[in-house]
Structure 1
């Protein structure tokens, strides 16, 4: 199963960006989203930002992922 995870763009330089996902920061390729800017929320899959999404959608998705992870632990 493939899963794209939402993250907030913190910085972009050349075709790479730093994305915040929950409390983690990851460097991802931004070449598929040339119009993305700092502050945008993007879906990240396999190290690439693939689509911009709105902040509310990102927060809902992150909360669902968190709940799934907690259920897996118990």
Structure 2
């Protein structure tokens, strides 16, 4: 199963964004999405695939946190 993770863009360098996932930062390609610093985005396989509204991003983060708690 593949899962796209929500994160917040904190920096953009050319066609690459630095995305923050609750303190974990990684690079993601911006090739197909017009996103800017401060946007919540879905990232899959190192590629930003969608800009998310703030409320949807927060809801998804809560779901991921709940799943993490269930696995403990």
Which runs of 5 or more structure 1 residues have no equivalent in the other structure? none
Q: Do residues 69 (structure 1) and 52 (structure 2) align?
A: no
The size of the alignment, in residue pairs, is 72
- Cα RMSD over matched residues? 0.8
**Deviation of 1:60 (Å):** 0.7
Q: Do residues 46 (structure 1) and 45 (structure 2) align?
A: yes
DSSP 3-state at the match of 1:43: strand
Q: Do residues 18 (structure 1) and 18 (structure 2) align?
A: yes
Who is 1:36 aligned against? 35
**Matches of 1:23 and 1:31, distance apart in 2:** 24
DSSP 3-state at the match of 2:32: coil
TM-score (normalizing by structure 1): 0.91
Q: Is the 8 A contact 1:22 1:62 kept in 2?
A: no
DSSP 3-state at the match of 1:56: helix
**Deviation of 1:72 (Å):** 0.5
